[in-house]
Amino acid sequence: NIHTFHAFCNEIIQDNLFLFEKNSLDPISELEQIQLLRQLTDSFPQKHPLKRYRSDAYFEVKNLRSLFSTMKREGYTPAFIETKIDEYLEKIRTSDEYKYKKNGPGYKKGEPMQAKLEEQAERMAKLRAAVNEFDRYQQLMRDKGRYDYDDMINWVIRAFRENENLLRRYQEKYQYILVDEYQDTSGTQNQVVELLINFWDNPNVFVVGDDDQSIYRFQG
């Protein structure tokens, strides 16, 4: 059998609809997605780090769409990203990159570049605020009866982890796996493969990829 990851996950869902909510949802269109993201930004309180006004009111829609898609593809939770933000901010506080290399007017060699640190802190505050809107966006989609194709992969991952019999059935069915264009697999796509092969100590899996053509990052 030859599948894209999305087609493979869709087959699993269609064969086991009682385990999934897809039978009560429809795929979201690009226009609907933008409308929901605008609805989300309209709901931001006045002092929200991403709140904008007038002609710039929906400036962050494109960024939110890209961020949420990346979170789904890579399996990043808001808590995971927040931890990475904290680690990054702690790291740059002691990094030589954010310290003056020589004496100057108003500062001495080795002192922190406060303006640059504050700039990074502001950027991370916006990122933190954005990732914390992820669950609300997902709820807006469910309320509207919609899902996107990245949701399908995450549903299958969750079902495999929560239902051992389901996982064992597909491990038995797919004992030989070849993944082409492996450099373009996302984190969640990689998790599907790992779940399918984790029953065996020496699984029959073969991957083909070229890190010079990577869309996401090379998984090798």
Yes or no: say if 140 and 151 are a contact pair by the CB < 8 Å rule: no
What is the average per-residue pLDDT within 18-47?
90
Position 219 pLDDT exceeds 70: no
Q: Which domains does the chain have, with CATH numbers?
A: 5-23+153-213 (3.40.50.300), 29-143 (no CATH)
Q: Quickly state the pLDDT bin for 74 (edges 50, 70, 90).
A: very high
This prediction has a pTM of 0.82
**What are the residues whose beta carbons fall under 8 Å from the beta carbon of 20, sequence distance 6 or more?**
13, 155, 159
Position 213 pLDDT exceeds 80: no
Position 215 pLDDT exceeds 70: no
Position 220 pLDDT exceeds 60: no
Q: Which of 120-124, 179-183, 192-196, 206-210 has the lowest mean pLDDT?
A: 206-210
| Average pLDDT across the chain, whole number | 90
Q: What is the pLDDT of residue 87?
A: 97
CA separation for the pair 127, 81 (Å, rounded): 9
User: Using one digit for the tens of pLDDT, what is the confidence trace for 128-170?
Assistant: 999 999 999 999 999 999 999 899 999 999 999 999 999 999 9
DSSP sequence for 70-121: HHHHHT--HHHHHHHHHHHHHHHHT-GGGB-SS-BTTB-TT-B-HHHHHHHH
Q: Token pair of 31, please?
A: 């226009």
Position 54 pLDDT exceeds 90: no
What is the average per-residue pLDDT within 181-203?
91
Dihedral class, residue 175 (left if φ above 0, else alpha if ψ from -120 to 50, else beta): alpha
User: Using one digit for the tens of pLDDT, what is the confidence trace for 102-116?
Assistant: 999 988 999 999 999
Q: What is the pLDDT of residue 76?
A: 96
Percent of the chain topping pLDDT 90: 74
Residue the block writes with tokens 């065996």: 200
Q: What is the pLDDT of residue 73?
A: 94
